[in-house]
Structure 1
Amino acid sequence: MSTRPEAVPARAGQPQPLPESADVYRTLLESTRAIPWKIDWASMRFAYIGPQIETLLGWSQDSWQTVDDWVSRMHPEDRDAVVGFCVSQSQAGVDHEADYRALTRDGGYVWIRDVVHVVRDASGEVDSLVGFMFDISERKQAEEERMRLHRELEQLSLTDGLTGIANRRMFDQRLETEWSASRRSGSPLSLVVLDLDHFKQFNDAHGHVAGDDCLRRVAALLRGVAQRPRDVVARFGGEEFILLLPDTDAAAALALARQCMERLAALGIPHGAPEAGPVVTASLGVGTATVASTGEASDFVAAVDARLYAAKRGGRNRIEVLAD
């Protein structure tokens, strides 16, 4: 009677162990779209890189000799950050991944994701790095398109659809930012609030198409008055506009308000309603604040807006200034 154990047949569907052949593993690695590679840590030389690299980037397999070849074929804008990150993570023995643009032989760039595994020797020291390069260009293009659309939607959400200037939401955001900046620096912050006189009657007399055109022309006029990078020209609602003027003292704010009136008069937009004069005019409120720690931006806006309505009560086509 034999004492030798009988071989147990594998059950259907049970995974079989791979034969221990380097050729099998190489075939598996080189049949994927991912590009395998290995770098010897001591010499910083490529021990291996898959032949797929030539299909992807155009550089021949044997041209990848050292890490310098990897570094030199990276986009200059990505190079310092990616190399620094990968070196520090490798030195610490931490597996990691990095995205960067790799130079193709014909001068283009391909987005790569490098997934890196740190191999240690018996003493725990770093022996080598092994990993895979993945072409993620399509994914990056999709991400960039999503970001572009997001930026466009964000911009639309902050822009008045009729006039193209900032809307109330944008004004409120910038007001909070500039209010905080003024509080820190002690610099003055000014507002000019402008409302077109008898605008309902203008629409009644000329129609809403002409009314919309009038609002667009006034918005363009105001952009020409307040044109520093931090200035904000916003449609505050209806026929009311507001100028947010950082680092602007009371005298300069009043001068800008007068420019608004002069340029509006120069436009000469016919009005003709019985209650109004021959051309479209506006009433303005002006105020300047040196922000205190206890002040609220909304209170300042309300105070300047009140001066606008004082100008309305005082006869229109005039400026009222908020007292210090």
Structure 2
Amino acid sequence: MNRTGSQNHVDGVAIPDRLSLLDLIPLEDLQHLQDALAEIGRVKSVISDPDGHILTMPSNDIPVCKTVMQSSRGSQDCLRNLQRLSGKMKQERRAMIHHCESVGILKAAVPIVIQNMHLANWWISQYCTELANPSQMVFYARQIGLNSDTLLHAAEQSVQITRAEFEKALNLIGQLAQKITLLGYKNLMLLRDNSKLNHLQSELDRYKSELEKLIQARTVDLVNVNKRLKLEVLERDLVEEQIARKSKLLDAINQVLHQVVADRSEQSLAGTCLRAAQVLTASPFGFMVEHQEDEWQVVAYEHLGEAKDTPQPLQLQKKFEVHGIWSSLVQTGKPVTIQSTIGNPQWRPLPEGYPKIKTLMAVPLPRQAGISGFIALANNPRGYALIDQTDVESLAKAFSETLMRTRAEQANHHSEKRFNLALDSADEGLWDYLPQKGYVYYSPRWFTMLGYSAGELPYSFETWSTLTHPEDLPVLRKTFAQMVPGLEDAFGIELRMLSQAGQWRWMQTRGRTVERDADGRALRIVGTLIDISKYKQVEMALQKANEELQRLAALDDLTQIANRRRFDERLADEWRRARRDNTMLAVVICDIDFFKRYNDTYGHVKGDDTLYAVAQAINAVLKRPMDLVARYGGEEFAMVLPNTDLAGATRVANEVKAAIETLQIPHEASRVVPFITLSFGVAATIPQGNSPAKMLVEQADKALYKAKAQGRHKIVQADPAIFTNRRAIP
């Protein structure tokens, strides 16, 4: 039911302005009611909406009407009568009776109205003996093209009632329809009010539950707030330490992976891994042992700070005897840490040529990588912590997988395997994309890096797209749009992805096509996903610091405007732009008059203050972002004015001159006026050919010296013909 506008009232019940009869009485019940009343009144009956659209099936059809409707003209006559009567009913909203004297039919309609709401029309009709006139029926049958005998026979078969009986049936139907409709409406309102009451009760219960939860949550928050405040400092310090540690670990792993890219030997790879582990754990001494050719061999050795002429154990004894703690290490595959070898019954001194061991940590190489061996690190004066062990295990894992893949590549000579050697297995997720099926396999680590449970999200490319930041989504889609058709073989991109906690995390993903169809389109693309959020934070901090350094490098410390270096860079850029666009470029050079006398009179501190005030006044005059003023040297300032001719540059010089005069900075030693003044040299040209930008500065500088020679506190323009003559010189 559609409710709009104001409401009427009947018996204290509010009535909406728009309502349908079918909102009050179901169609099936309405049909049964119509059939019953039509049977009682022995009339034909049907119900329509106020516009004449039929709502129910007709009850008790009249043979005469049925026969007339077989004629096209008869059907049209009936339709016109119905439309005329419906329109009148819609306007007057009262019961009406229409006589179809040509066939002896009485037709009437009762409007179903609640107050001023016209809901429907209840139509009844029947063959009336008082109106029946056989001669008229014969005449009408001929008019509409029917057989008169057929029409008369239909009249004989029709139920015949008197006008009084018809009006009685009409009155009964009208009263019953009106009462039943009102009862239906009240029932509808009751149901809706009851539904609203239930809804309000439900809302009240929900608000009550939410309020109780909120009170409970607030209570818990108040209890825990002190704990959180205490933990924040500790967490921040811990995060900073973890970032620094992870950064060192990443550098160490990158050093190992770089050996693959550089295509170095296995011994070089082992040495790089060992040195990285020593730096990571602050270990002066270390060595790596691997089981090769049925014996344990030292594959890398490093003693930081050892004299170069000291014999290396690799030269003295490549074979390594595995016994004692070394035997336990390779058998159990568990790391060994000794914080002090003094008095330790498990410790046995190393062979001759090795340094004396004070503290030791030995980490086995991962067995699942198919390599047997270990990395031994020694003599960290503070001993070794669990984080040292964890980092070296990650490094050992990366080294082992890199070594195995290097060996596989050497055996297979397959260029595709070279990409997999760069996989950082320390902490990364894997994905496997089948473009033609739209399926993407995500490894458990892929999910957990983003805080989701393995398999929590669908294995589809849409999952990846949904989690990607809207600003980075075009990069992701463009990348795979190039990979799938075979336009690219491999890629590496950085993007932000939404974690389960609602945070955007920086991720690095790399991928390569490993299978193609006959047309070169990708059938399978595999790759990795790495969380680089912490490293990205470091990178952004460094970038911000670099930007600040660049800004400071281009700034004059005293005047806080651009320095000579920035001026030269900007002039060169604008010179090239003006030459390309064939536009004017102007330079204005100005100098504080008798500034040496000013310093001698007022002192250098006051002189510095004056330089700052003059610089800021000039900068305030330059309104366009493209204009630049710089301290050119000493008490000299220079302005670069793009898209400015000689007249425009002169106007700017006059504005600067007026601004300085407004400052009224006393200068009793001046030979011009007793205040600080400036002299100006102005030059402008359109750069042509290979002429240098310094030519424009030289002419502005010469004009400045002319201004000084003419008594200072003046603006002198460089002769434009000078630039024309220079361009004319072959």
Q: TM-score range by the shorter chain?
A: 0.7 to 0.9
Amino acid paired to 2:602: H
Identify which of 465, 468, 472 aligns with 1:74: 468
- The alpha-carbon distance between structure 1 residues 82 and 197, as it changes in their structure 2 partners (threshold 3 A), is same
Can you list the C-alpha shifts for 1:237-274, whole angstroms capped at 9, x where unaligned? 00000111111122221111111111101001111226
- Quote the Cα distance in structure 2 between the aligned partners of 1:320 and 1:128: 73
Q: How many residues align?
A: 305
Find the counterpart in structure 2 of residue 220 from structure 1.
616
> Hey, what does 2:479 align to over in structure 1?
85
TM-score (norm. length: structure 2): 0.39
**Contact persistence 2:579–2:687 (CA under 8 A):** yes
Per-residue CA deviations over 1:42-84 (Å, capped at 9, x if unaligned) read 32223x3233344332334321321011012111222112321
State the structure with more CA Rg: 2
Q: Is residue 34 of structure 1 aligned with residue 428 of structure 2? A: yes
SS of equivalent to 1:139: helix
Looking at structure 1, the residues matched to 521 and 649 of structure 2 have their Cα atoms a distance apart, in angstroms, of 68
1:120 is matched with which residue?
Answer: 515
Q: Distance in 1 between matches of 2:694 and 2:700?
A: 10
The match for 1:5 is none
* Cα pair 2:588 2:683 within 8 Å, conserved: yes
> Is the CA contact (8 Å cut-off) linking 1:64 and 1:70 kept in structure 2?
no
What whole-Å deviation, never above 9, does each CA across 1:156-213 have from its counterpart, x for those lacking one? 2222121121111111111122122222222221121110011111112222221111
Paired residue secondary structure (2:497): strand
Give identity over the alignment, percent.
34
**1:320: which partner in 2?**
716
- Give deviations 1:71-116, integer Å, cap 9, x for gaps: 1211122211232123422442723322211122333211111122
User: What is residue 220 of structure 2 aligned with on the other side?
Assistant: none
For residues 122 and 17 of structure 1, the distance between their equivalents in structure 2, rounded to whole angstroms, comes to 34
Q: Is the 1:261–1:282 contact (alpha carbons within 8 Å) kept by the matching residues of 2?
A: yes
Shift of 1:281: 0.7
Aligned-partner Cα distance in 2 for 1:274–1:130? 78
Which shifted more, 208-217 or 112-121?
112-121
**Partner amino acid for 2:554?**
L
Map 1:1-324; keep pairs closer than 5 Å.
11=294, 33-46=427-440, 48-60=441-453, 61-92=455-486, 94-120=489-515, 126-273=522-669, 275=671, 277-324=673-720
Report if aligned partners of 2:442, 2:459 keep a CA contact under 8 Å in 1.
Answer: no
CA–CA distance in structure 2, aligned partners of residues 63 and 281 of structure 1: 74
Structure 2 distance, partners of 1:142, 1:256, is 45
Task: Give the whole-Å Cα distance in 1 for the aligned partners of 2:369 and 2:696.
Answer: 77
Letter in 1 for 2:438: M
Matched position secondary structure for 2:472: helix
* Range that drifts further, 57-66 or 250-259: 57-66
| Residue identity in the other structure for 1:114 | T
**Given that residues 165 and 219 in structure 1 are in contact (C-alpha distance below 8 angstroms), is that contact kept between their aligned partners in structure 2?**
yes
Distance 1:106 1:186, change over 3 A: same
Q: Supply the distance in 1 between the matched residues of 2:660 and 2:517 (Cα, whole angstroms).
A: 82
1:129 Cα shift?
Answer: 2.8
Kept in 2, the 8 Å contact 1:86–1:98? The answer is no
Q: 2:556 & 2:544 partners in 1: Cα distance?
A: 20
Cα distance, 1:195–1:69 mapped onto 2, change above 3 Å: same
Aligned-residue RMSD, C-alpha? 2.7
Q: CA contact under 8 A between 1:86 and 1:96: conserved in structure 2?
A: no
Q: 1:264 to 1:125 in 2, by over 3 A?
A: closer
**TM-score, structure 1 as length reference:** 0.85
Judging by fraction of residues, say which structure has more helix.
2
Deviation of 1:276 after TM superposition, in Å, equals 5.4
One-letter identity of the residue aligned with 1:70: W
Q: 1:255 to 1:86 in 2, by over 3 A?
A: same
The answer to whether the 8 A contact 2:479-2:491 is kept is no
Could you tell me which residue of structure 1 aligns to residue 200 of structure 2?
none
- How far is 1:32 from its partner? 5.2
Question: Is there any run of 5+ residues in structure 2 with no aligned partner, and where?
Answer: 1-292, 298-365, 371-400, 402-422, 721-730
Q: Which runs of 5+ in 1 are unaligned?
A: 1-9, 20-27
Provide the C-alpha distance between the structure 2 equivalents of 1:86 and 1:209, rounded to a whole number of angstroms: 64
* 1:254–1:83 Cα change, 3 Å: same
Equivalent residues of 1:202, 1:211 under 8 A apart: yes
Contact 2:559 2:612 in 1 (8 A): yes
Q: Distance in 2 between matches of 1:216 and 1:162?
A: 7
Residues 112 and 133, structure 1, Cα contact 8 Å, conserved in 2: yes
